[in-house]
Amino acid sequence: MKTRLTRYIPLAVLVLALSGPSGPAMSQDLAAFEQNVTEFTLDNGLTFIVVENHDAPVLSVLTYADVGSADEVKGITGIAHLFEHMAFKGTTTIGAMDLEAEYAAMEKVDEIFDDLRNERHKGHLADPERLASLEQAFENAKTAARELGRSNAMDEAIDRAGGTGLNASTSRDATRYYYSLPSNKLELFFALESNRFLEPVLREFFIERDVVKEERRMSESSPVGRLVEEMLSAAYKAHPYGEPIVGHMSDIDSMTRAEAMDFFRRYYGAGNLTIIISGDADPAHVKELAHEYFDRLPAGPPVEPVETTEPPQIAERRVTMEDRSQPVILMGYHKVDINHEDDVVFNVLSDILGSGRTSRLYTKLVKDQKIAVNASSFTDFPGSKYPNMIVFFAFPSKDYTAADTEQAIEEEIERIRNEEVTEEELSRAKVRARVNLIRGLESNMGLATQLAYFHVLTGDWRNLFHSIDAINEVTAEDIKRVANQYLVSKNRTVASIVTMDDGGTE
């Protein structure tokens, strides 16, 4: 086990230090902040990062599982998100009433579902009477199993302890579980969290699966949501970034509890988890509790990164969706991952072209030409771990089309390829990067989120600070070079909604 213990300085001092001028001072900011941090790794590979902030008797806790929807394979898309739901359903001790009877009841549900799924797979040859009988038996079995356990026991325990903000999220790169609670309830967190990942019971699996199916339907009912999915599907022919986080309906509909447990055993070993504790915590006490509660967690099998790489795009790809909704244009260009030296250049480029009301796109399309009600850009989409995209988008104004705004965006991209950005624009982008960092560190949870992100994806939480140093080193020449290398037509996917009237005409 490796460890480093340090002394505490108030978080407010850090924020004030970061508010100062950029440049060499950032290394001093990092040195000051490191005094707040204790980092250690258990023998099973589970890493803890403790950030002291004794301003109030509260703390925020975040468990970062280095697994997201990009780690799924064909046939079980959506399982990372579904397991996130199941991780709140209790364990062999939390929420258990009669565990032996509950397991037997859940196995009965599984058996009936297997029969039901097999009958459904027969398609038009399926026996309608047998289908109806199995569906009724399936519903009855789910109800019977539900009565043998308390699926909300974990939530209730956290609520009784004064916990707030209990939630989780699944992205293509990771799954995060987080909440805040009084600092005198720290051991409760350790008891609940260790049990969650040691002895989970997937209660109400098929009931929760129906909740996820409803999320899938909501996504399909959103025109912009459908357009984004279509764009990613067109942009990624090989890499799983092209798959939806919530999964495909047919995969969700056929998913089993056994598949979810297999996914858990593969990806939720201690070596694939990082826990951040930010707030009123004593690092020495945290380390004692970590040994007591988490040493027993298996390391788990080694988790390899996604091996499939997206081949270079050789021609522009287009998706046009006809809908009675507001028109929109999305233009995505392939770019590098977070650990490539050019990634930070894209951050600055995106800021200048599409961040806020002073950006080039907003100024031209919204303020000057008035052909759009909004125009912006974002980067690191749909993830950061693997090569991803920078996306430009606009919502046309009344009487203007997606094609009108596409042309205006293209003109600004052409301009940034041919002309160097001004020193004023470059300076503003660097200031905004620093301001955004400060905002992300102002709360215990914001701090935990940022540290987990940088620690897992880049290998060291200190890169949160080094990223500002890297941004300060970006030059106008860098932006022009990257624009000419990546922002070219053969490297882009364009997706648009063409508004149709009730008669089916544009």
* pLDDT grade for 305, boundaries at 50, 70 and 90: very high
Q: Are strands 175-182 and 58-65 parallel, antiparallel or unpaired?
A: antiparallel
pLDDT at 119: 95
Domain ranges of the chain: 63-96+150-294, 317-499
Contacts with 65 (C-beta within 8 Å, 6 or more apart), sequence order:
174, 175, 176, 177, 267, 268, 272, 273
Q: What is the pLDDT of residue 441?
A: 81
Reported as a single tens digit per residue, the pLDDT across 438-460 is 788 889 999 999 999 999 999 99
pLDDT band at 40 (very low <50, low <70, confident <90, very high): very high
Cα–Cα distances in angstroms (integers) from residue 43 to residues 66, 77, 271, 433, 459, in the given order: 18, 32, 9, 37, 18
Minimal CA–CA distance to 386: which of 279, 307, 322, 268?
307
Domains 63-96+150-294 and 317-499 share a fold: yes
Cα 413 from Cα 411, distance rounded (Å): 5
Q: Pick the range with the lowest mean pLDDT from 26-30, 95-99, 225-229, 497-501.
A: 26-30
Digit-coded pLDDT (tens) for 183-237: 999 999 999 999 999 999 999 999 999 999 999 999 999 999 999 999 999 999 9
pLDDT over 80 (residue 145): yes
Is the distance from CB of 61 to CB of 275 less than 8 angstroms? yes
365-410 residue pLDDT tens: 999 999 999 999 999 999 999 999 999 999 999 999 999 999 999 9
Q: Are 361 and 354 spatial neighbours (Cβ–Cβ below 8 Å)?
A: yes
Q: Is 132 left (phi over 0), alpha (psi -120 to 50) or beta?
A: alpha
pLDDT given for residue 9 in this prediction: 42
Out of 2.60.40.1930, 3.90.550.10, 3.30.830.10, 3.40.50.300, the CATH code matching 63-96+150-294 is: 3.30.830.10
| Among 267, 286, 243, 198, residue whose Cα is nearest residue 78 | 243
User: What pLDDT does 1 receive?
Assistant: 42
User: Which class does domain 317-499 fall in?
Assistant: alpha beta
Residue 4's pLDDT is what? 36
